[in-house]
Structure 1
């Protein structure tokens, strides 16, 4: 009898351990402790066999990572996935994070301004792919969020976007939390992830940011070539001559004359968008785009940019317009913008790298160089990002 009692005690202890939230192993008990999750997300989420978010393959040449104090777990990212796609996070149950950050568009939007519960966004929605792999830890175009964790709940608390601002007749985020606390599958998911049914803004931030950081793309033509090369400066054996020319132009700094006109070298995109992450330099200032989406005046505060990976899909179409104003719709127009930088009145925040010797840069690109740059930028797009079910809607 003592042996039987001991056996039952051990197995009961293991059962409690499996749902405590402290162990991210996939070796869960077969006893279904989460019936509402099982029912709601049948065929999409299996808590006994979670998708791999925590241990995805990251190439050895990728070294940048803005994860601080909130490592990705399978449990946390699974909860984050549900939160990301749930319209319950908006005041009128019509908008989710995924409404503006769409998997088919590298988690960006083809609309210039995304639709919210009380109007449209004031800046174009930024692509989220590879958000983790950057030295820049701040988020939003104007870097007003110190971390991704802080960023995740700000759209929820925006009057225009998701409507829990606590102003203009909106309820506050505490109203949202009370709303989610009444939803049975959230009681179970928060218990599963954190060991308690209690929902807080911090827990929402932790889960959403784990899911967003899990969205990665390293299966591009560029990655195939980079894996075979000692460094980025070597010609990639899988690239065409045009693609290698574009890579060289991208990486090599330009040589300017006294009037800011390029006389040699490359075009130096990598000075601000360094390979192999192609993230934005944290010290970058305004890039010469100072327009606003709504209203009049200028906006010179925008100094953040998404990774240049997955600017386009495999068919060459863009994942939506580019820049915070969404005013540049093709890679050619983006290159054209940087080809001739105008010193606009009032732009006191223009990056000094775009005004050599005090003049707006003139790259004097030939048609051959423009086409080579475009060819190279297209090599930065993968395929799995758009189809992997672990980043798709669980509803």
Structure 2
């Protein structure tokens, strides 16, 4: 029979061992649980003809968890000062992530001076906004957040707000490995989501895959789009691809396209200070262009037909990009000289760039509206 004092000592030791074992188990479980939050790499897919000329920052790889968080933040109105505006307010999915207003309305009720550009295939872009002032999507995401006439709230302040919202620490932990919510992580997550907004299933893409047979007028428009006019050789064209690209329908170029002699908005001259940069703006992608009216940096044209009427000339010559000078389907002509039938053909081709699956893709939609 055990001595009562010994039994008491042994009991105390067992109690200590129990608590010690519990603590060790908790530490071990926490360590294992931490591994569960390691983000999983996203399977990036795109057509080979888009090319591999892009870079993803090494400190912001594409992960499934980061992309989902970025998607949620893209639609999060609490990132704005008035709690009413999100990134999606000015970049609507049904409009190929552009805005159908000439200028978007900000938190202070003012209207932006420039039309909201479509967010599509940005993985291949390096400079953002009409004047290219942002280098990289992370920098691009931060600018409208802090702009007092857009969302009016810095990413740093948004981080403070999100820390108090149930669910966000969990999402940030899954995306970045721990629950820290920072300005840097907010813009990184949004950038991750935006890099996945790839449009590559339009009738034109299906044509390139031999899955679509264009109509005769679409083929005529495609030929005009891709061809520079050479009236001396009897070759007619509109040379649209010079600025807007061919298969990818995107080239990162900045041009003065003859809208005005003196621009109210001087374009990239505001950044460089060079007189020769007056009125130069980024040539936008033409993917889903039929959905992204109004057109130009100031939204002055309400239809594709009016855009073609502009390019058919005459163009304002002051600082006009050199390749547009003297480009004509008529020998010695001062205007492009497209016929009405040719303009209709080009518009028909541009409609071939509409990707209905892109604007309806549930992976790009507001996750807060998902039904369980």
State TM-score, norm by structure 2: 0.80
- Per the alignment, in what secondary structure is the counterpart of residue 184 of structure 1? coil
- Which of these residues, 330, 336, 339, is aligned with residue 366 of structure 1? 339
- Per the alignment, in what secondary structure is the counterpart of residue 267 of structure 1? coil
More helix by share: 2
1:137 aligns with 2:126: yes
Distance 1:208 1:303, change over 3 A: same
Q: Deviations over 1:300-344 (max 9, x none)?
A: 4342133101112xxxxx333111111111111111111114225
- Which of these residues, 96, 102, 108, is aligned with residue 106 of structure 1? 96
- Which of these residues, 262, 265, 268, is aligned with residue 236 of structure 2? 265
- Which of these residues, 69, 72, 94, is aligned with residue 79 of structure 1? 69
- Which of these residues, 60, 69, 73, is aligned with residue 48 of structure 2? 60
- Whole-Å separation in 1 of the counterparts to 2:259 and 2:169: 45
Which residue matches 2:197?
215
Contact kept in structure 1, 2:97 and 2:119, CA below 8 Å: yes
1:314-329 matches, cutoff 5 A:
318-329=291-302
Q: Deviations over 1:199-238 (max 9, x none)?
A: 222212211111111112211111111013xxxxxxx961
Which residue matches 2:173?
191
Distance 1:240 1:173, change over 3 A: closer
* Root-mean-square deviation (Å): 2.9
- Per the alignment, in what secondary structure is the counterpart of residue 266 of structure 1? coil
* Greater C-alpha radius of gyration: 2
Report the count of equivalent residues.
Answer: 329
1:1-395 matches, cutoff 5 A:
14-19=32-37, 21=38, 23-24=39-40, 54-69=42-57, 70-118=60-108, 119-132=110-123, 134=124, 136-164=125-153, 172-228=154-210, 238-255=213-230, 264-282=235-253, 284-290=254-260, 297-301=264-268, 302-312=280-290, 318-343=291-316, 347-348=318-319, 350-356=320-326, 362-395=335-368
Which residue matches 1:41?
none
- Whole-Å separation in 2 of the counterparts to 1:121 and 1:60: 37
Which residue matches 1:44?
none
**1:8: how far off?**
11
- Whole-Å separation in 1 of the counterparts to 2:357 and 2:301: 26
State TM-score, norm by structure 1: 0.76
For structure 2, which runs of at least 5 residues remain unmatched after alignment? 1-24, 269-279
**1:56: how far off?**
4.9
Which residue matches 2:7?
none
Distance 1:10 1:201, change over 3 A: closer
For structure 1, which runs of at least 5 residues remain unmatched after alignment? 1-6, 26-53, 165-171, 229-235, 313-317
- Whole-Å separation in 2 of the counterparts to 1:149 and 1:281: 18
- Whole-Å separation in 2 of the counterparts to 1:389 and 1:237: 24
Contact kept in structure 2, 1:341 and 1:360, CA below 8 Å: no
- Whole-Å separation in 1 of the counterparts to 2:256 and 2:234: 24
